[in-house]
Amino acid sequence: MDQQQLPPEDIDFLSSWDFKSSTEEWTDDKIVLTWLKTIFIPHTMPHKEGEKRLLIIDGHGCHATDDFMFECFQNGIYVLWLPPHSSHVTQPFNVGVSMPVLNAYRRAVLSQLATDNDFSLKTKIIILNCYDRARKVGITRKNIIAGFEASGQWPVNIEKPLMNLMTVDLDDQGQSETPPKIASQPSEILDETPQSVKQLRNALSTVFADEKISQPVRHLFSRLGQEMDCQNAKLARYERQLTQLRHELEEAKSNKRQKVAIDS
């Protein structure tokens, strides 16, 4: 955030928070290195000297600088870079924590809007306060453990991300290498209900064509896409459970047949 957008320092619930500014409006090498040194390393210090730590991150360039990797090496931190464009199924935070935090944040903001007529004058503090409440609801031990399990990070299970419906782009199966001309044939896109985030984006591009899409509309479609991802993840989980149950049933039948054969 810009230096002028930094929140006041005399707010009680912000006393333990640390804010950094960036001229580019997103994180950079310096901020990430500061986070590693002042947040991650001291807050994840092993109980026993010499124990190693694991840091799971995406492949952003600021996570692969010489200074960042050297700092990890010096502190016994193993770095696991996730494959590109896979955080929705491989990153524990995105899988188990992000959605509960976003849902809690949305409820907090809507509740504040309904009770505060002076919202616009205190937006900065209200947003941070809503996020603080959302963190306490969504960032829990239960959700964190569930995120590691659902992403297959721990216990290690490579089948979980590979079998996730969001891992396979069904739109690309059996299609030619030439991309479809969305704008020229909108009916082909709109005749079918979107089943993935990609289809939803195609539908959005088709409906609005070259028109500028407003922020509320983009936010709405973003929320729809997130809910779609969530439902797809649930469906994938149910399918895995069904496959496992079928496997166990076949094993039980096989064992029963073997027992009958031995008894006879």
The parent domain of residue 188 ranges over 175-263
Q: What is the pLDDT of residue 1?
A: 47
User: 215-253, pLDDT tens digit by residue?
Assistant: 666 666 666 766 776 777 777 777 777 777 877 787 777
For the chain, how many structural domains are there in total? Answer: 3
Within a domain: 162: no
Asked if residue 259 and residue 215 are part of one domain, the reply reads: yes
174 pLDDT band (50/70/90 cuts)?
Answer: very low
Within a domain: 63: yes
Mean pLDDT over all residues of the chain?
77
Within a domain: 160: no
Q: What is the pLDDT of residue 9?
A: 59
Asked if residue 240 and residue 183 are part of one domain, the reply reads: yes
Q: What is the pLDDT of residue 201?
A: 67
User: 38-93, pLDDT tens digit by residue?
Assistant: 999 999 999 998 899 999 998 888 998 999 999 999 999 999 999 888 888 899 99
At residue 191, does pLDDT exceed 60? Answer: no
C-alpha 32/C-alpha 35 separation (Å) is 5
195 pLDDT band (50/70/90 cuts)?
Answer: low
Tell me the average pLDDT across 97-118. 84
Between 198 and 65, residue with greater pLDDT: 65
- CA of 165: how far to CAs of 61, 144, 232, in Å? 28, 22, 6
**Chosen domain end from 81, 99, 124:** 81
**Chosen domain end from 40, 60, 81:** 81
Within a domain: 60: yes
Within a domain: 158: no
Within a domain: 170: no
C-alpha 60/C-alpha 130 separation (Å) is 28
**Is 95 within 8 Å of 60 (Cβ atoms)?**
no
**Chosen domain end from 81, 109, 142:** 81
